[in-house]
Amino acid sequence: MTQVVVVTGAASGIGAAVARHFAGLGARVVVADIDEAGGAAVAEEVGGLFVRCDTTGEQDNQALIDTAVQTYGGLDLVHLNAGIGDGGGFGEDDYDTRRRHRVLAVNLHGVMFGLHAALPALAAHGGGSLLVTSSMAGLGAAPFDPVYAATKYGVIGLVRSLAPAWQEKGVRINALCPGFVRTPILSPEAVAYLLGEGYALAEPAEIAASAAGIAAGEETGQAYVLQAGRAPEPVAFPRLDLARTRA
């Protein structure tokens, strides 16, 4: 049966690679992005459908899912991948309220809106898989961009908190936590610096292949570290047992 796949932030980088990967598997792919020219080009390349979507708007997220369902009859996989960096720091010289709110709107609020729209649609089609792109910055520390890190921590919290209830409806939700990836979010100067310091950069196609494997699995509520040349590594979160008083 042909899969129907929706990918946000799919005009370039990881999102475009995911769109290409699933199209190569024979899926019908809906390419969503605020970048109309880039998104339309990827959609044409993969024989898919382009939908302009500003993920910071709740109505745009709902319209994206509705369009996919109306066009193809249902959904099997939604990858909420859209994200941006550079939320500014917390010093006197680099604290920027506008930038901070923009990163929160795209990386956290946009994911909330996407989840709210996609989860019922996946359940109504008999279940499926939902992926959210977080980051290794959501597992460690990113002093160079603390606002970005905060949003990526938040994404993992959403995934882990929503997964148990939606599993009962046949929907699996997992987070992807890539390390450094050669995408437009890294400037040429940043790429040169990272390579000079000996860091490995994954290619978007490598991340896309890992994403497909995770989407096809049975796990839910997990966060997977994705790094160049390595298989996906599930994060071992601590088990927290809340204390109860007894009469």
Per-residue pLDDT of 205-242, as tens digits, reads: 999 999 999 999 999 999 999 999 999 999 999 888 77
Look at residue 192 and tell me if it is in a domain: yes
pLDDT reading at 127 higher than 70? yes
pLDDT of residue 191: 83
Domain limits for position 35 = 4-230
Question: Residue 64 to residues 21, 42, 44, 53, 78: CA-CA distances in angstroms?
Answer: 20, 16, 17, 7, 11
Q: Domain of 57: which CATH number?
A: 3.40.50.720
**Lookup result for tokens 């390579």:** 195
pTM here is: 0.94
Q: Which residues of 27-37 are buried (b: 16+ CB within 10 A; e: fewer)?
A: bbbbbbbbeee
Per the model's pLDDT, the better-predicted residue between 180 and 50 turns out to be 50
pLDDT of residue 149: 94
Per-residue pLDDT of 97-117, as tens digits, reads: 888 899 999 999 999 999 999
Per-residue pLDDT of 178-202, as tens digits, reads: 998 988 877 788 888 888 888 889 9
If one counts the domains in the chain, the total is: 1
CA triple 187-188-194, angle to 5 deg: 90
Distance CA 7, CA 33 (A): 9
Give the residue among 26, 23, 27, 18 at the shortest CA–CA distance from 46: 23
Look at residue 60 and tell me if it is in a domain: yes
Catalytically annotated residues: 135, 148, 152
Look at residue 240 and tell me if it is in a domain: no
